């Protein structure tokens, strides 16, 4: 836990408060009772959440197991920092369950995991009805990500657009390289919604492998 908190502190020091910081505990990767890497119990999740709140972190993502809705709701009642999650959940019924006991404050449905963009649109309407925020997971990083951009731009309860960006190894530009005129994220973190027909982007023919 000390190493985790020090990482956040170093990010704050490096960016000088110019960035909103979100922390992902990645505790909901498994659908069962096992978890790759370090497995958090309730105390670890609570203690970390309290300290991240002190550091001004925007949210703590998936601090407990994927279907441990009761304990996530208990944690949410005990801390002030918003809790986020849902990128590995599949059906609309699961997101409804995450809303009714006030499990998460921010829902992160992933269209490649659940019922595509149609399901994602339904979840967006559900979250708005329950007064939740929604930040869809990145949709694979290329065409799916651009498709989510239109929904995010149309939702008043969607504060961010999730883009897979891990420089210098995997910047988002790598996945957008399939497009002739890819969307670009500005230095202010904003991106313009493409205005062309369809999804507003065109695939570079040279990037298509011959069948």
Residue 11 belongs to some domain of the structure: no
Mode of pairing for the β-strands spanning 59-61 and 83-85 = parallel
In this structure, what DSSP letter does residue 177 have? G
Residue 15 belongs to some domain of the structure: no
- Quick one: pLDDT at residue 33? 78
Closest by Cα among 14, 94, 10, 52 to 25: 52
Residue 147 belongs to some domain of the structure: yes
Residue 16 belongs to some domain of the structure: no
Q: The tokens 């986020």 sit on which residue?
A: 84
Q: Which two tokens stand for residue 208?
A: 């298509």
Residue 5 belongs to some domain of the structure: no
Please list, in sequence order, all residues whose beta carbon lies within 8 angstroms of the beta carbon of residue 107, skipping any fewer than 6 positions away: 84, 85, 86, 95, 98, 99, 123, 127, 132, 133, 134, 135
Q: Which two tokens stand for residue 70?
A: 């009761």
Contact 120, 114 (CB under 8 A): yes
User: Per the structure, how many domains does the chain have?
Assistant: 1
Q: DSSP characters for 65-81?
A: -TT-HHHHHHHHHH-SS
- Quick one: pLDDT at residue 165? 92
- Residue 126: band (very low, low, confident or very high) from pLDDT cuts 50, 70, 90: very high
- For residue 187, the domain's CATH number is 3.20.20.120
For the cut 80, the answer to whether the pLDDT of residue 211 exceeds it is no
Task: Lowest mean pLDDT of 65-69, 83-87, 113-117, 149-153, name the range.
Answer: 113-117
Whether omega before 123 lies within 30 degrees of 0, making that bond cis, reads: no
Which range of residues forms the domain containing residue 94? 24-30+41-206
- Quick one: pLDDT at residue 208? 86
For the cut 90, the answer to whether the pLDDT of residue 27 exceeds it is yes
- Residue 17: band (very low, low, confident or very high) from pLDDT cuts 50, 70, 90: confident
Cα gap 75→153, rounded to integer Å:
31
How far is residue 107 CA from its own chain's centroid?
8
């Amino acid at each position: 836990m000390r190493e985790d908190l020090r990482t956040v502190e170093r990010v704050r020091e490096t960016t000088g408060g110019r960035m909103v910081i979100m922390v992902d505990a990645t505790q909901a990767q498994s659908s069962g009772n096992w978890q790759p890497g370090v497995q958090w119990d309730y105390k670890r999740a609570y203690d970390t959440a309290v300290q991240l709140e002190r550091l001004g972190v925007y949210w703590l993502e998936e601090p407990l197991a994927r279907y441990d809705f009761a304990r996530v709701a208990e944690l949410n009642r005990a801390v002030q920092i918003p809790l986020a999650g849902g990128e590995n959940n599949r059906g609309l019924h699961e997101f409804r369950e995450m809303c009714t006991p006030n499990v998460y404050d921010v829902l992160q449905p992933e269209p490649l995991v659940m019922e595509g963009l149609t399901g994602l649109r339904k979840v967006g309407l559900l979250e708005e009805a329950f007064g939740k925020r929604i930040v869809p997971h990145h949709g694979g990083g290329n065409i799916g990500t651009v498709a989510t951009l239109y929904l995010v731009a149309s939702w008043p309860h969607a504060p961010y657009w999730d883009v897979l960006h891990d420089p210098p190894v995997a910047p988002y530009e790598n996945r957008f390289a399939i497009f002739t005129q890819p969307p670009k994220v500005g230095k202010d973190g904003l991106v313009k919604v493409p205005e062309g027909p369809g999804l507003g982007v065109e695939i570079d023919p040279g990037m298509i492998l011959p069948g």
